């Protein structure tokens, strides 16, 4: 018998174990491998080495196959188990699978979040790594020469020069491809390449003065008690901690974390990326200073090497507390006993590219899977969480007094309709606010000015009476589409002509709104030529550490006025600020988003919490064309309950979240016709496939009709359950073979409708 035949006949008799493996690499590659006889310990979540074409690759075991899944010889064998214990715990594997199904993404995408890039790139035998150290910084002339001849070498020099200790691991400079230019630089005497021990102690060089726990006030003490109880019982019923700004929530977190640690448990703390300031980090590191390396920080500005170290330190159980933004929900904290989600209402918990998961929601799920207690903290809780409290799913703890005994600032709402006629300030700065800023400058106090700017949707607003065009069916502002010169509702698709006059006051002055920070900056510089003014927006903060430097300048009072977008509203504590001005409270209201009012309310309340944190009383001035808007009036009175009640009623009436789940499907293409056609075809299929409880809008150009050269069309869906949306939509998207040149994306529980 020929040998091939022999093999074929023999094969079914050789029963073997197999495993399905996500092979590390740029693209999702899931392949089956055989587990060789005698290789013990391969489990779901294990990291393994496998042969891939003519090289060796690493991967994560997604699932174990049954016996006899493969032909002997047909499957290549796993070469080696990288770690004895599975690297991804069973709970995190479950979480990944659950999230993959809920958000309708391949499970590989979720695993990639759990095993971050630097950890995936780890090679088992790599106990050292290459670090490039700057030796000589060339003068401008030399640098220009290098730049012309070898721009990559110049770029590497600049990166090294910009880094704090003039050294970076090779991975931070671009990995292996950067080795050649680095070698050239070494030869020329500019840098030195060193081998460094990989498992350094990331906290080794920092020291933090230990801080002692504060004596809690009665509200804090009672909140802490409830959290400790949940921790001890392993109760994962979420606790919503609703505490006004300055009520001392952080102190409660610190003492709750202390309790969990003393019980031998691990703690996970999620914060909005933007509030992951050195200030927050130091507060935690100081409190737990007696456990060296006990607090691990994960954030996006970290180099690969740092992230690698912190991840391993958490995984080994050395770091007992992990702090990070939404992606930290996947941190491999051992024996997790407590999860804290600070500023739980914050929109940054939702990832806005695929996989579009919600960090807070996954935290709630993870707590349940791990039997850990979970606290969601905020001064302005999301309506989702408040709704869960009303339904009895979450417990509510409240702290209504400021811990530092400060009064909440006095808030004035300024009606811009009466100011609009004065053209000198272009309707940007009211006389009242201008005087208030002047007064602060004279007294040497500081001012924060907030420009509420979200997206680029343009609404129609009357500068004389404040009227804005709303959809008759959704009660949401309509968006102006220049191409067809129409107002369109982005939830239901209702269209309307642009009225030539204001329907309320009949002026012909009715106009499209919108201006940016740069224009405001110009106006401010004209009004206050002497003031030290700093603008903060996405343009300014692209440079690494820019935001940190700007904020430390402001803290040290090297700046008088800080002008910025939402970025400056969160978690910042500046004692010298006595005035907060909100330039255009309306802009956030006039966007086609069911959460527009909620976000505006939260923003105004949070930003008001920035004023008067020191010994001086604070003042807040809110400029608006819409002084009667509920979001503005309730924020003025610091009335979170009143706002929630009114807004929830409205949401229920309109069937918006939290009373339903919403999803957005977007088709993108460089050619408008293709994007439109794909969306229309998919829409037709969905209408046929979806059950009648699901509402679907007509396909429309997105409010952001074109981004990065791609035309965008979208559909909005509402359903009683998210599963109904993920299962059917992902099936129909996969079935719609729309070819190259167009991408379709599905956003379950969408937070952005742009
Ligand atoms: P929140 O996070 O709720 O906005 P913080 O935790 O930042 O509030 O606390 C506000 C201020 O009150 C901080 O300066 C903090 O040190 C102080 N503080 C908190 N708890 C107490 C307490 N029990 N006694 C005195 N001061 C406190
Ligand atoms: Zn009008």
DSSP 699-745: PEEEEEEEETTEEEEEEEEEES-HHHHHHHHHHHHHH----TT-EEE
pLDDT (0 to 100) of residue 741: 87
pLDDT (0 to 100) of residue 1: 44
Whether 220 is in the pocket of ligand 1, judged by its Cβ within 6 Å, is yes
Ligand nearest to the CA of 221: 1
Ligand nearest to the CA of 467: 2
Whether 243 is in the pocket of ligand 1, judged by its Cβ within 6 Å, is yes
Site to substitute for ligand 1 among 250, 256, 286, 398, most atoms within 8 A of C-beta: 250
Residue 662 to residue 384: CA distance in whole angstroms: 13
State the burial class of residue 731 (Cβ atoms within 10 Å of its Cβ: 0-12, 13-18, 19+).
middle
pLDDT (0 to 100) of residue 216: 95
Ligand nearest to the CA of 404: 1
pLDDT band at 200 (very low <50, low <70, confident <90, very high): very low
Residue 539 to residue 535: CA distance in whole angstroms: 10
Which of 178-182, 271-275, 310-314 is predicted with the least confidence, judged by mean pLDDT? 271-275
Top mean pLDDT of 25-29, 268-272, 459-463, 487-491 is at 268-272
Per-residue pLDDT tens over the stretch 371-421: 999 999 999 999 999 999 999 999 999 999 888 777 777 889 988 887 755
Contact 666, 725 (CB under 8 A): no
459-465 average pLDDT score? 76
Q: Has residue 650 got a pLDDT over 50?
A: yes
Whether 578 is in the pocket of ligand 1, judged by its Cβ within 6 Å, is no
For 180, residues 6+ apart whose C-beta sits below 8 A from its C-beta are none
Distance 509 CA to ligand 2 centre (A): 8
Q: Has residue 465 got a pLDDT over 90?
A: no
φ, ψ of residue 615 in degrees (nearest 5): -85, -10
pLDDT (0 to 100) of residue 571: 53
Q: What distances in angstroms separate CA 524 from CA 4, 437, 532, one per listed residue? A: 83, 10, 10
Whether 217 is in the pocket of ligand 1, judged by its Cβ within 6 Å, is yes
In 112-253, where do the E strands start and end?
128-134, 167-169, 191-197, 239-243
Whether 374 is in the pocket of ligand 1, judged by its Cβ within 6 Å, is no
Task: Classify residue 407 by its DSSP letter.
Answer: P
Contact 664, 747 (CB under 8 A): yes
63-76 average pLDDT score? 66
Which of 74-78, 451-455, 638-642 is predicted with the least confidence, judged by mean pLDDT? 451-455
Kind and range of the H or E run holding 596: helix 596-608
103: number of Cβ within 10 Å: 25
Distance 56 CA to ligand 1 centre (A): 53
Closest C-alpha among 534, 559, 574 to residue 441:
559
Distance 341 CA to ligand 1 centre (A): 17
Distance 215 CA to ligand 1 centre (A): 11
Contact 367, 374 (CB under 8 A): yes
Distance 321 CA to ligand 1 centre (A): 21
Note the residue count of the chain.
754
Kind and range of the H or E run holding 636: helix 630-636
322-339 average pLDDT score? 95
Atom nearest to 404 CA in ligand 1? 12
Bigger pLDDT: 201 vs 144: 144
Ligand nearest to the CA of 464: 2
141: number of Cβ within 10 Å: 8
Ligand nearest to the CA of 401: 1
Atom nearest to 573 CA in ligand 1? 7
Distance 584 CA to ligand 2 centre (A): 17
pLDDT band at 345 (very low <50, low <70, confident <90, very high): very high
Joined together, the tokens standing for residue 222 give 């009672």
Distance 330 CA to ligand 1 centre (A): 29
Whether 254 is in the pocket of ligand 1, judged by its Cβ within 6 Å, is no
φ, ψ of residue 694 in degrees (nearest 5): -90, 130
Distance 510 CA to ligand 2 centre (A): 7
Bigger pLDDT: 235 vs 303: 235
pLDDT band at 6 (very low <50, low <70, confident <90, very high): low
Ligand nearest to the CA of 406: 1
pLDDT (0 to 100) of residue 546: 79
What SS3 string covers 438-449? HHHHHHCCEEEE
Give pTM, 2 decimals: 0.79
SS3 378: strand
Which of 26-35, 646-655, 673-682 is predicted with the least confidence, judged by mean pLDDT? 26-35
pLDDT band at 456 (very low <50, low <70, confident <90, very high): very low
Contact 226, 397 (CB under 8 A): yes
Kind and range of the H or E run holding 156: helix 151-162
Closest C-alpha among 442, 693, 677 to residue 685:
677
Distance 251 CA to ligand 1 centre (A): 6
Whether 248 is in the pocket of ligand 1, judged by its Cβ within 6 Å, is yes
Bigger pLDDT: 590 vs 618: 618
Task: Classify residue 13 by its DSSP letter.
Answer: G
For 226, residues 6+ apart whose C-beta sits below 8 A from its C-beta are 239, 395, 397
Q: How many CA atoms lie within 13 A of 432 on its CB side?
A: 18
Q: CA angle at residue 179 from 178 to 184, to 5 degrees?
A: 105
Per-residue pLDDT tens over the stretch 538-569: 667 666 677 778 888 898 899 999 998 777 76
655-665 average pLDDT score? 95
Site to substitute for ligand 1 among 220, 246, 287, 606, most atoms within 8 A of C-beta: 246
pLDDT (0 to 100) of residue 245: 83
Residue 750 to residue 358: CA distance in whole angstroms: 9
Distance 349 CA to ligand 1 centre (A): 24
Whether 246 is in the pocket of ligand 1, judged by its Cβ within 6 Å, is yes
pLDDT (0 to 100) of residue 488: 79
pLDDT (0 to 100) of residue 572: 62
Whether 62 is in the pocket of ligand 1, judged by its Cβ within 6 Å, is no
Whether 571 is in the pocket of ligand 1, judged by its Cβ within 6 Å, is no
Distance 373 CA to ligand 1 centre (A): 23
In 358-485, where do the E strands start and end?
373-378, 395-399, 410-415, 446-450, 460-461, 479-481
Whether 404 is in the pocket of ligand 1, judged by its Cβ within 6 Å, is yes
Distance 466 CA to ligand 2 centre (A): 6
pLDDT (0 to 100) of residue 321: 95
Bigger pLDDT: 276 vs 291: 291
Q: Has residue 261 got a pLDDT over 90?
A: yes
Arithmetic mean of pLDDT over the chain: 84
Whether 488 is in the pocket of ligand 1, judged by its Cβ within 6 Å, is no
Which of 61-70, 293-302, 359-368, 603-612 is predicted with the least confidence, judged by mean pLDDT? 61-70
pLDDT (0 to 100) of residue 126: 43
| Full DSSP string of 55-83 | EEEEEEEEEE--TT-S-TTTSPBP-EESS
pLDDT (0 to 100) of residue 592: 79
Ligand nearest to the CA of 503: 2
Whether 406 is in the pocket of ligand 1, judged by its Cβ within 6 Å, is no
pLDDT band at 648 (very low <50, low <70, confident <90, very high): very high
Distance 416 CA to ligand 2 centre (A): 13
């Amino acid at each position: 018998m020929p040998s091939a035949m022999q093999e074929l006949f023999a094969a079914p008799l050789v029963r073997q174990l197999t495993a399905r493996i996500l092979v590390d690499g740029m693209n999702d590659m899931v392949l089956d491998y055989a587990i060789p006889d005698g290789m013990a310990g391969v489990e779901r979540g294990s990291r393994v080495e496998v042969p891939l074409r003519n090289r060796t690759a690493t991967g994560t075991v997604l699932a174990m196959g049954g016996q006899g899944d493969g032909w002997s010889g047909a499957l290549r064998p796993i070469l080696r188990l990288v770690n004895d214990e599975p690297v991804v715990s069973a709970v995190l594997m479950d979480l990944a699978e659950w999230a993959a199904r809920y958000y309708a993404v391949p499970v590989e995408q979720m695993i990639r979040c759990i095993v971050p890039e630097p950890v995936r790139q780890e090679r088992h035998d790599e106990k050292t790594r290459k670090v490039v150290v700057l030796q000589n910084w060339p003068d401008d002339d030399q640098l220009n020469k290098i730049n012309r001849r070898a721009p990559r070498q110049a770029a590497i020099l600049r990166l090294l020069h910009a880094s704090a200790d003039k050294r970076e691991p090779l991975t931070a400079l671009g990995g292996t491809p950067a080795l050649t230019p680095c070698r050239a630089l070494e030869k020329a005497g500019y840098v030195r390449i060193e081998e460094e021990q990989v498992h350094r102690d990331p906290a080794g060089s920092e020291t933090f003065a230990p801080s002692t726990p504060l004596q809690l006030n009665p509200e804090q003490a009672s909140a802490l008690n409830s959290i400790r109880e949940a921790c001890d019982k392993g109760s994962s019923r979420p606790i919503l901690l609703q505490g006004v700004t300055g009520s001392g929530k952080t102190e409660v977190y610190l003492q709750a974390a202390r309790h969990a640690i003393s019980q031998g448990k691990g703690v996970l703390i999620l914060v909005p990326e933007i509030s992951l300031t050195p200030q927050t980090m130091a507060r935690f590191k100081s409190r737990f200073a007696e456990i060296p390396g006990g607090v691990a920080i994960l954030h996006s500005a970290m180099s690969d090497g740092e992230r690698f170290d912190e991840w391993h330190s958490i995984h080994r159980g050395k770091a007992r507390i992990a702090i990070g933004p939404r992606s930290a929900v996947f941190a491999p904290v051992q024996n997790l006993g407590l999860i804290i989600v600070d500023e739980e209402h914050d929109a940054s918990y939702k990832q806005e590219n695929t996989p579009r998961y919600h960090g807070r929601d996954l935290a709630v799920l993870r707590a349940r899977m791990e039997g850990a207690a979970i606290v969601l903290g905020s001064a302005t809780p999301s309506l989702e969480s408040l709704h869960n409290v009303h339904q009895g799913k979450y417990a509510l703890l409240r702290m209504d007094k400021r811990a530092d005994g400060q009064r909440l600032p006095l808030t004035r709402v300024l009606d811009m309709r009466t100011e609009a006629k004065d053209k000198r300030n272009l309707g940007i700065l009211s006389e009242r606010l201008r005087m208030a800023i002047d007064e602060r400058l004279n007294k040497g106090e500081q001012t924060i000015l907030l420009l509420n700017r979200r997206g680029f949707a343009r609404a129609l607003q009357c500068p004389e009476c404040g009227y804005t065009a709303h959809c008759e069916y959704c009660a949401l502002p309509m968006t102006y589409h220049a191409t067809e010169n129409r107002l369109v509702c982005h939830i239901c698709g209702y269209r309307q002509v642009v009225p030539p006059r204001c329907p309320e006051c009949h002026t012909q002055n009715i106009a499209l709104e919108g201006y940016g920070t740069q224009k405001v900056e110009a106006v401010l510089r004209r009004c206050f030529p002497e003031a030290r003014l700093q603008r903060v927006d996405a343009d300014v903060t692209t440079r690494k550490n820019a935001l940190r430097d700007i904020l430390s300048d402001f803290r040290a009072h090297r700046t008088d006025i800080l002008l910025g977008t939402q970025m400056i509203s969160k978690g910042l504590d500046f004692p010298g600020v006595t005035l907060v001005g909100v330039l255009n409270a309306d802009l956030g209201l006039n966007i086609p988003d069911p959460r527009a009012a909620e976000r505006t309310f939260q923003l105004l309340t949070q930003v008001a919490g920035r004023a008067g944190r020191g010994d001086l009383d604070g003042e807040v001035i809110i400029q608006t064309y819409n002084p009667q808007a509920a979001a503005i009036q309730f924020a003025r009175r610091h009335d979170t309950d009143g706002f929630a009640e009114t807004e929830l009623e409205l949401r229920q009436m309109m069937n918006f979240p939290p009373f339903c789940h919403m999803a957005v499907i977007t088709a993108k293409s460089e050619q408008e016709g293709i994007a439109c056609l794909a969306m229309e075809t998919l829409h037709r299929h969905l209408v046929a496939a979806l059950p009648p409880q699901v509402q679907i809008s007509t396909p429309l150009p997105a409010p952001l009709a074109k981004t990065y050269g791609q035309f965008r069309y979208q559909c909005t869906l509402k359903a009683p359950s998210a599963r109904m949306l993920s299962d059917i939509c992902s099936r129909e998207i996969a079935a719609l073979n729309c070819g190259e040149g167009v991408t379709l994306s599905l956003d379950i529980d969408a937070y952005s409708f742009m």
